[in-house]
Chain A
Amino acid sequence: MFKKNSFYDFAYRRFTRNRLAVIGFAVTLFFVIMALFAPLIAPHEPSEFFFVEGQNVYDKYAAPSSEHLLGTDSLGRDVFSRLVYGARVTMMVALLAVSISTVIGTVIGLLSGYFGKIIDNIFMRLVDIVISFPVLFLLISISTIMDPSIWIVIFAIGFVSWTSTARLVRAEVLRVKELDYIAAARACGTSNLKIIVKHILPNILAPIMVQVTIGTAQAILMEASLSFLGVGVQQPTPSWGNMLMDAQKLLVLRDMPWIWIPPGVVNLLLVLAIYFVGDGLRDAFDSRQ
């Protein structure tokens, strides 16, 4: 799969030997498939309302049955179908948000670490400012001043969570910059852009990949929290976070576990699986072992 005995070959072998990491990867893959093929898997449309037979009344809070595997919610919608489509929303939000935060964080980290001095100082103070705001506060502020939509959620998470990537990339650049061949390339007058792109970036890719993995897990949690609080993904679009909103009612919490336990459990499972992958990657890339 990789060139034999290369860095990635060793990492690949170490990763596949790590049982938890492989299980995590399989579970993640399962949810990716679920998201991709949601229309084939889900028995109903996620926003389809069901009525009590023969009556013009929503069939709400129906217990699980063969018709509705996980019952129906407070508006008479099929919980299982919403769960399946929710995987789509969750994945899309998380992946796009992480793409944004990774690009911002990597660029800022590279510039900061490579050029140092005043550029570094400005960017690092910016990081200090952003991390002084609890992430959720910032997200909530952003989501309230804009009209809530799925795109706002994506951009908000992306623009709030780049700081750890920036710090990581900066530290890695500082480490790599001192390596002999990069010092040599600088001495030879190779352009800065070329050094960064051709020499530095490939060398710090491994920790960035770990960070992307962990960042995805965190983005999923952030989206779920925002949606749960009502400032994230809005009804009728299903998300694993907003599906738990109903459970704030004591009645639902106590008597209708099918409404809130499944979305919570799948959320936990996916995040846990991604963390396993992240931990596995970190150990696999750690050549000291």
Chain B
Amino acid sequence: MSKTILRVEDLSVRFRTEEGVFNAVDNISFTLEEQKTLAIVGESGSGKSVTSLAIMQLLAENGHISSGEIYVDDENILNMSSSQVQHNILGKKISMIFQEPMTALNPILKIGDQITESIIEHQGTGKKEAYEIALDTLKQVGIPSPEQRIKQFPHELSGGMRQRVMIAMALVTRPKIMIADEPTTALDVTIEAQILNLIEQLKSTFKTSILFVTHDLNVVADIADDVIVMYCGQIIERGPVVDIFENPQHPYTKGLLATMPTLEDHKGELPTIQGGVPSITQRPGGCYFHPRCPHRMKKCETQSPGVYTVGQQQVKCFLFEGNKEERNDGK
């Protein structure tokens, strides 16, 4: 059994808005094992990005973690001071790459400067040594003629190259966890495949675990070991990637998978799930999914379902009420 590297327990994130205070993430728990890839899947508004930002303590000003624990290497980072987190966790044990490689790099600093600064900060190496490490990492992420690129500014690179630079920047300090928040969404399909391959390959070279946040199920199938499906800030289904794809249980997961275009099946229109994700201010009572659910029952409108075990999966849905019940909060 592999070692748990990241453990999130009962995490809730609240946002203050003009219309009141809302839970963007509602009491979620999950673990990430060493050298595994865990994918968090959901539509926009599901709370998947907020979860990753909460782990990095990068929430927007109006958001805060209202309860829960986040263990990195069995240490609860929510008990640490912000400077401790800054110094010991961020960029050192956990790194993050973002969706928009165009805006996530500082436009007026050279690539080399942006990569070396984390090495200097976290490993205390000299400038020259840091430069060598940076150069080496750029080679590893497949950047051609890195000696030249390292002296360039972000705008001189293509989108795919920039994302490679982001990955190099994240991995250069050899973190145990890399959080990737929709890292390929802004890229072309061919570039996307290259970047996914690269991440997959680097995972074993750098012995990193990956928390992969995405809305794109195609990507999940390629890269993940385990999958969490989120809806309205809650985890509604989880399980190993094979089971989730072969045998989805929750009506929402089924719906999501049905909307995936496949190569074999060109006939007719793609099915869609009726309606859209309700906004954070207008969540329905009971099960958040019931207004869109083809199998809704009377009690779905008033009660929130528990979490039930189905084979390797756990599902938050009344359809499986006869099965063994997990803790009600989705753990």
A10 within 8 A of B: yes
A160–B18 CA distance with the chains assembled, in angstroms: 41
- The residue on A at minimum CB distance from B61 is A289
Q: Which residues of B contact A13 (CB under 8 A)?
A: 18
- The residue on A at minimum CB distance from B62 is A289
Q: Which residues of B contact A10 (CB under 8 A)?
A: 18
A38–B18 CA distance with the chains assembled, in angstroms: 42
| Interface positions of B from 1 to 47, Cβ below 8 Å from A | 18
Binary CB contact string for chain A from 1 to 35 against chain B (1 if under 8 A, 0 otherwise): 00000000010011000000000000000000000
A13–B17 CA distance with the chains assembled, in angstroms: 13
Binary CB contact string for chain B from 124 to 144 against chain A (1 if under 8 A, 0 otherwise): 000000000000000000000
Q: How far is the CB of B62 from chain A (nearest CB, A)?
A: 9
Q: Which residues of A contact B18 (CB under 8 A)?
A: 10, 13-14
Q: Which residues of B contact A14 (CB under 8 A)?
A: 18
Number of residue pairs spanning A and B whose beta carbons lie under 8 angstroms apart:
3
Q: How far is the CB of B103 from chain A (nearest CB, A)?
A: 16
A115–B18 CA distance with the chains assembled, in angstroms: 38
A48–B23 CA distance with the chains assembled, in angstroms: 69
A10–B18 CA distance with the chains assembled, in angstroms: 9
Q: How far is the CB of A259 from chain B (nearest CB, A)?
A: 49
Q: How far is the CB of B65 from chain A (nearest CB, A)?
A: 22
A272–B288 CA distance with the chains assembled, in angstroms: 50
A14–B18 CA distance with the chains assembled, in angstroms: 9
- The residue on A at minimum CB distance from B18 is A10
A13–B18 CA distance with the chains assembled, in angstroms: 10
Q: How far is the CB of A36 from chain B (nearest CB, A)?
A: 36
A3–B261 CA distance with the chains assembled, in angstroms: 43
Q: How far is the CB of B170 from chain A (nearest CB, A)?
A: 28
A14–B17 CA distance with the chains assembled, in angstroms: 12
Q: How far is the CB of A8 from chain B (nearest CB, A)?
A: 14
Q: How far is the CB of B18 from chain A (nearest CB, A)?
A: 7
- The residue on B at minimum CB distance from A17 is B18
Q: How far is the CB of A283 from chain B (nearest CB, A)?
A: 13
- The residue on A at minimum CB distance from B19 is A5
A186–B249 CA distance with the chains assembled, in angstroms: 48
Binary CB contact string for chain B from 110 to 132 against chain A (1 if under 8 A, 0 otherwise): 00000000000000000000000
Binary CB contact string for chain A from 56 to 97 against chain B (1 if under 8 A, 0 otherwise): 000000000000000000000000000000000000000000
Q: How far is the CB of A15 from chain B (nearest CB, A)?
A: 13
| Interface positions of A from 31 to 49, Cβ below 8 Å from B | none
A277–B18 CA distance with the chains assembled, in angstroms: 21
- The residue on B at minimum CB distance from A10 is B18
Q: How far is the CB of B147 from chain A (nearest CB, A)?
A: 40
Q: How far is the CB of A214 from chain B (nearest CB, A)?
A: 25
Q: How far is the CB of A104 from chain B (nearest CB, A)?
A: 36
Q: How far is the CB of B284 from chain A (nearest CB, A)?
A: 19
Q: How far is the CB of B303 from chain A (nearest CB, A)?
A: 30
Binary CB contact string for chain B from 261 to 287 against chain A (1 if under 8 A, 0 otherwise): 000000000000000000000000000
- The residue on B at minimum CB distance from A287 is B18
Q: How far is the CB of A4 from chain B (nearest CB, A)?
A: 12
A14–B19 CA distance with the chains assembled, in angstroms: 12
Q: How far is the CB of A157 from chain B (nearest CB, A)?
A: 38
Q: How far is the CB of B281 from chain A (nearest CB, A)?
A: 11
Binary CB contact string for chain B from 151 to 172 against chain A (1 if under 8 A, 0 otherwise): 0000000000000000000000
A131–B162 CA distance with the chains assembled, in angstroms: 40
- The residue on B at minimum CB distance from A14 is B18
A200–B231 CA distance with the chains assembled, in angstroms: 38
A13–B19 CA distance with the chains assembled, in angstroms: 12
A213–B148 CA distance with the chains assembled, in angstroms: 52
| Interface positions of A from 157 to 197, Cβ below 8 Å from B | none
Q: How far is the CB of A217 from chain B (nearest CB, A)?
A: 28
Binary CB contact string for chain A from 110 to 141 against chain B (1 if under 8 A, 0 otherwise): 00000000000000000000000000000000
Q: How far is the CB of A69 from chain B (nearest CB, A)?
A: 46
A50–B18 CA distance with the chains assembled, in angstroms: 59
Q: How far is the CB of A7 from chain B (nearest CB, A)?
A: 13
A95–B16 CA distance with the chains assembled, in angstroms: 40
Q: How far is the CB of B325 from chain A (nearest CB, A)?
A: 41
Q: How far is the CB of B72 from chain A (nearest CB, A)?
A: 33
Q: What residues make up the interface of A, taking CB atoms closer than 8 Å to B? A: 10, 13-14
A-B pairs with lowest CB-CB distance, top 3: A10-B18, A13-B18, A14-B18
Q: What residues make up the interface of B, taking CB atoms closer than 8 Å to A? A: 18
3 A-B pairs within 8 Å (CB atoms) are namely A10-B18, A13-B18, A14-B18
